[in-house]
Structure 1
Amino acid sequence: KAIFTKVKHERYAAVAVAIAETKAAFADSLGSDEIQHKLFAALMEEIQYDLLRSGILDRGVRVDGRGTEDIRPISCEIGVLARPHGSALFTRGETQALATTTLGTTFDEQVLDDIEGDRRERFMLHYNFPPFSVGEVGRLGTGRREIGHGHLAKRAIERVMPGKERFPYTVRIVSEVLESNGSSSMASVCGGTLSLLAAGVPIKAPVAGIAMGLITEGDRFAVLSDILGDEDHLGDMDFKVAGTEAGITAFQMDIKISNVSSEIMTKALDQARRGRLHILSIMNKTISVPAAEISEYAPKILTVKIDVDKIGAIIGPGGKNIKALCEQYGVKINVDDDGSVTIFGANQKASMEAKAAVLGIAQDPEVGIVYQGTVKRVMDFGAFVEILPGKE
């Protein structure tokens, strides 16, 4: 009865009481022999293992009372934090992830040094799993588990990210797991997608993730949707599947048995698809398309194309001209070899003024066009008037 308690911490407490009562009943037999106590602990673990698995295979009932295909209650919120460019809180049962999206400039791209040389990442996803999320006290920091889970979530969302031409921002998602009872990486995928939409990132389609489990005994098997931590620990498989309504974007499988048959794999993928579509339908009720405008706190980006032979005029000797523009308008300017000039400003006004200045430097004065100029110097024979930046 104790192991089939619905709420995680209540279940753990009930199991602990049951084990303590059983241990007290056999206190005389156990005595003070340390080996006997270790054997008793192993036996209790084995009993829990058998009870959980037999409940699923024989009665189709899981420890929290769900059926094999049932998914825990889901709630979604966006805009839970005012300052980040996008934020979302995704809760599925006793697993909860707070995801935030930050928009940056080209200068914020992550530079990676690998065997093939330097490369730059425009999209980053960082996954944090603090000990308090599972009721523990421990050291904070990033370990192999956090890196692996973050990489899986990143691969799931990366497939739907827009190209640089359509959305020139550098994007960083941070997922903070606030509570965990299974599948926190897939909750990060769902929360990350919601925060991207809230930030106004034009992703190709929303992405959701689900963790599938497996219980086997001889020829019998049961595939579980949306597994709990206990089902991951005592089960035979942890199969994470993420994707859109159209298909899968990422998956990862951990198994404790020698092989998985095609029958099991087919059922797991089919069941995962139904679960994914169910989760997406709930997410879409909260937000299904990108926000019309990005946050007022996000940098404003403008892109303009100039002739390649004008790049030198924009940059100037030793970068003099481009540095002066950045300082004058409070912006950052990036010039690519193909003549694409990207302007990053804290507000639209500064970006527009800097854009006008760049276009002024890049264009040649035309006869018949009226220019508004600034008198720079007055001489005996006349005056020098700057009609375009740097051109008198």
Structure 2
Amino acid sequence: MQAHTYTTQLGGKELTLETGKVAKLVSGSVTVRYGDTVVLVTAQASDRPSTLDFLPLTVEFEERHYAVGKIPGSFQRREGRPGEKAILSARITDRQIRPLFPKGYRQETQVIITVISADQQNLPDVLGAVGASAALSISDIPWAGPTACVRVGHVEGQYVLNPTVAQLEGSLIDLVVAGSREAVLMVEAGAKNVDEELLVGAIEFAHREMQPLIDLIERMREELGKEKFEWIQPSDEISALVPELTEAARAAGLKDALLTSGKKARSQAVKDLRDRLIAERVLDLEAEGAAAQVELYKAAFEKVQKAELRRMILEENLRTDGRDTKTVRPISIEAPFLPRAHGSALFTRGETQVLGTTTLGTERDEILIDDLGLETGDKFLLHYNFPPYSTGEVKRMGGQSRREIGHGNLAKRAIRAVLPAFEEFPYIIRIVGEVLESNGSSSMATVCAGILSLMDAGVPIKAPVAGVAMGLVMEGDRYAILTDILGSEDALGDMDFKVCGTAEGVTALQMDIKISGITPQIMREALAQAKDGRLHILGKMNEVLPAPRPELSPTAPRILTTKINPDKIGTVIGPGGKMVRELEAMGAQVTIEEDGTIRIFSSDSAAAQAVLERIQAITREAKVGEEYEGTVVKITDFGAFINLFPGQDGMLHISQMSEERIDSVEAVMKVGDKIRVKIASIDDRGKLDLIRPELEGKVAPRAPRPSGPRPSRR
């Protein structure tokens, strides 16, 4: 097959799509190049449907160290399992393409994105999403694309399309937007406390600027696209049962069952109603085909239940827990909650409950991140845990799921914007969000619980942050935006739109759409309604903790900071690290930076203070005019050497010892004597000349010392 290349301008740089040269046995294969970053994206579907009752789509994001000319640092010197960044990059693509597969499509489908070249400036995550759109579009896999994906920054008052890593450092936002020709499908952003209109403007800018890219992929599909294969449509038997079952369910009290108070009680009431309706229709459960008939009725009842929930919201402004569309569930907060954690808070909103904890550590606790050969550190960690008991289920427990990593990253972006600079608060910060109960919006509860735990620990954050999850139910031109959605509303609705921020602006947002897209007007309404919900939650948080506690938690370790002359770093370290080991044996950790900044970390404030005083003593520098109580350590014919402090001696000349002429130093002092002296001068070699303070002005100043080596006192 001949290679085909397609090129367009995107953000002032050339973006190239190529197919037909590599990976030719796969259904769809595309390489995407932007700058010197190149990703290979493949799409393949199984030739038979799976037995699963959901879309079996997997997206893998593979990073190769050869992309940056590096050998992996692992023991086996090969790449291991994907890290958090790769997982988050895979989720960007997954959330963009998943809504556009046909309803009922059950063929196992796999998209693999491999980073084969990385220039460390043009980020590969959005290029992977672009490549997935192109690969699916030209493949034989049924998919209603194309889509496009871009990143937007805001630098010096201007929107920037696909900013470089360097540009992102000075940007107010880091916004990733995916969309189709008509509408936006997915949004993810971290922001530095910006107003909602700036974000809507950025989303509109992104959707407008991605259109040439969609044109390019459509041209590829028209010229090279394969015919889409036929797939087995879901049985129409289910749909045929829905009308009669809907009428019967409503007559039997479906609405009342859906309005039952409490998640578990509601679920049981609905299940009892369903089982009763099925029992009336499948009379003999032992008869041949009865089991299959029961499963058909269960599937039909799910459709009936979903339709009734949506009808209640759209026609009656009524939700299953009795709220209207704009009301936030009842909130309760307890802070502190744990006796030994540095900071803790229990945040409960309806039937969603998260325990947030804050732990403070030293620079030794900083996490190292290997980003395709570039090792960087992160001084802020946030971990989100979602155990099965939080939903009343039993599941196998293993490592962190992709969902946990994604939710944790969203909460982390929301909180990072208000953390103090490390120079002002030199702690490594770790937040853990432990989901104890979940009925929707647990990631947003993690934001609230995490912020409260920071404040409880005494971390001087810039402002409190709260998060709220918004939903959407849309039928034709009718729609309702829901504040603080339940788990069932997430499942039945058409949008999951999470917004986090302070009272002044947004710090993070994430939007996933299950329909073909939404308009900027709906986004504006959702953001405005989310702000009202956010302010309500912030008000509840303010009632419990209006500001960070004025002092660090008693259980939190203390950090003392001092700065020394960089030339003295060797003195603090000592030969082979001997001195620093002695310092740490006093009960504190010591970190030393190249500029001479030293941080002393200990849970024992007295030990930290003792280490600080020891460091100050061994690195102290003498200054002209300072007085000291020194010790005579050596006597010569011309004077005496006086030790002022560890490592620092000065010379008191015989002419500066007495108003009257003396013939011998021993006549006025001996080794071991304590004597008060003052620094008269320091020469260009750092040598100190001393005088007795009480003789200042009474004896002639000593003549300047001749240059050349000074005799040793030993």
TM-score of the superposition, structure 1-length normalised? 0.94
> For residues 284 and 76 of structure 1, do their structure 2 counterparts lie closer, same or farther at Cα, with a shift above 3 Å needed?
same
Q: How does 1:245-324 map to 2 (within 5 A)?
A: 245-324=503-582
- 1:164 is aligned to 422
Q: Does 1:337 align with 2:594?
A: yes
1:185 to partner: Cα distance: 0.4
State the secondary structure of the residue aligned to 1:28: coil
Specify whether residues 261 and 361 from structure 1 end up closer, same or farther in structure 2 by C-alpha distance, changes over 3 A only: same
Q: Is 1:40 aligned to residue 288 of structure 2?
A: no
Q: Which amino acid aligns with 1:62?
A: R
Match of 1:326 in 2: 584
Aligned partner of 1:295: which letter? Answer: S
1:81 alignment partner, SS class: coil
Q: Does 1:73 align with 2:338?
A: no
Q: SS of 1:280's equivalent?
A: helix
Comparing 308-317 with 337-346, greater Cα deviation is found at: 308-317
Cα pair distance change 1:371/1:145, threshold 3 Å: farther
Instruction: Provide the C-alpha distance between the structure 1 equivalents of 2:520 and 2:392, rounded to a whole number of angstroms.
Output: 38
Q: Does 1:232 align with 2:232?
A: no
Counting only pairs closer than 5 Å after superposition, residues 1-392 of structure 1 correspond to structure 2 as 1-28=256-283, 31-33=287-289, 34-141=291-398, 142-327=400-585, 329-365=586-622, 369-371=627-629, 387-391=644-648
Deviation, structure 1 residue 139: 2.2
Q: One-letter code of the match for 2:511?
A: M
Match of 1:204, SS?
coil
Between the aligned partners of 1:11 and 1:351, the Cα distance in structure 2 is 56
Alpha-carbon separation, structure 2, partners of 1:262 and 1:5: 36
Shift of 1:359: 1.4
Q: Structure 2 CA distance, aligned partners of 1:251 and 1:139?
A: 30
Are 2:457 and 2:556, in contact at CA under 8 Å, matched by a contact in 1? no
Q: What's the secondary structure of 1:322's corresponding residue?
A: helix
**Structure 2 residue runs without a partner (length 5+):** 1-255, 650-714
CA deviation after TM superposition for structure 1 residue 388, in Å: 3.0
Decide which structure has greater helix share.
1
- Letter in structure 2 aligned against 1:4: L
Name the CA distance, whole Å, in 1 between partners of 2:600 and 2:494: 53
Contact 1:157 1:249 survives alignment (8 Å): yes
Structure 2 vs 1, CA of residues 119 and 55 (structure 1 numbering), >3 Å: closer, same or farther? same
Identity %: 52
Q: Residues 116-143 of structure 1, C-alpha deviation per residue, up to 9 Å, x if partnerless?
A: 4211111111111110110011223321
Q: Secondary structure at the match of 1:370?
A: strand
Amino acid at match of 2:356: A
Task: Work out whether residues 215 and 236 of structure 1, in 8 Å CA contact, stay in contact via their aligned partners in 2.
Answer: yes
Higher Cα radius of gyration: 2
Contact 1:306–1:339 (CA<8 Å) still a contact in 2?
yes
| 1:308 counterpart letter in structure 2 | P
Shift of the 320–17 alpha-carbon distance from structure 1 to 2, 3 Å rule, reads same
Alignment gaps of 5+ in structure 1: none
Moved more, 90-99 or 135-144: 135-144
Contact 1:209/1:241 (8 A) holds in 2: yes
- CA distance in structure 1 between the partners assigned to 2:431 and 2:644 by the alignment: 45
**Distance apart, 1:8 and its partner CA:** 0.8
Tell me the CA shift for residue 316 of structure 1.
Answer: 2.0
Q: Is the 8 A contact 1:86 1:199 kept in 2?
A: yes
Q: Give the secondary-structure state (helix, strand or coil) at the position aligned to 2:627.
A: coil
Q: Mean alpha-carbon deviation: is it higher for 311-320 or for 163-172? A: 311-320
Q: Which moved more, 1:87-96 or 1:346-355?
A: 346-355
Distance 1:330 1:250, change over 3 A: same
Q: How far 1:323 sits from its partner (Å)?
A: 1.7
Amino acid at match of 2:451: T
Structure 1 window deviating more from structure 2 (309-318 vs 283-292): it is 309-318
Alpha-carbon contact 2:331-2:540 (below 8 Å) kept: yes
Distance 1:80 1:282 in 2: 17
Mean alpha-carbon deviation: is it higher for 257-266 or for 205-214? 257-266
Secondary structure of the residue that 1:89 maps to in structure 2?
Answer: strand
Label 1:128 to 1:365 Cα distance change in 2 as closer, same or farther (>3 A).
Answer: same
Q: C-alpha distance in 1, partners of 2:478/2:569?
A: 69
Q: Quote the Cα distance in structure 1 between the aligned partners of 2:612 and 2:473.
A: 62
- Matched residues in 2 for 1:23 and 1:371: separation? 97
Q: RCO (CA 8 Å, sep 6+): is it higher in 1 or 2?
A: 1
**Shift, 1:44, TM fit:** 0.4
Partner-residue secondary structure (3-state), 1:177: strand
Instruction: Name whichever of 154-163 and 109-118 sits farther off.
Output: 109-118
CA separation of 1:289/1:314 partners in 2, compared to 1, >3 Å: closer, same or farther?
A: same
Runs of 4+ off more than 4 Å: 365-368, 383-387
Q: Bigger shift: 352-361 or 90-99? A: 352-361
Counterpart residue identity of residue 319, structure 2: R
- The 1-side partners of 2:549 and 2:349 are apart by 24
Contact 1:357 1:389 in 2 (8 A): no
- In 2, are the aligned partners of 1:210 and 1:242 still within 8 Å (CA)? yes
1:39 deviates by: 1.6
- Partner of 2:662 in structure 1? none
Answer yes or no: is the 8 Å Cα contact 1:87–1:98 preserved in 2: yes
Residue identity in the other structure for 1:75? S
Distance 1:66 1:139, change over 3 A: same
Deviating more after overlay: 149-158 vs 344-353: 344-353
Asked whether the equivalents of residues 105 and 299 of structure 1 are also in contact (C-alpha less than 8 Å), the reply is no
Q: CA deviation at 1:385?
A: 8.8
Q: Distance in 2 between matches of 1:385 and 1:131?
A: 71
Q: Match for 2:388: what amino acid?
A: P
Q: Deviations over 1:240-267 (max 9, x none)?
A: 1100001110111111000101221111
1:167 CA drift (Å)? 0.4
Q: Distance in 1 between matches of 2:621 and 2:443?
A: 55
- The one-letter code matched in structure 2 to 1:170 is I
Q: How many residues align?
A: 387
Give 2:350's aligned amino acid. Answer: G
- Structure 1 Cα separation of the partners of residues 403 and 642 of structure 2: 64
Name which of structure 1's ranges 318-327 and 171-180 shifts more when overlaid on structure 2.
Answer: 318-327
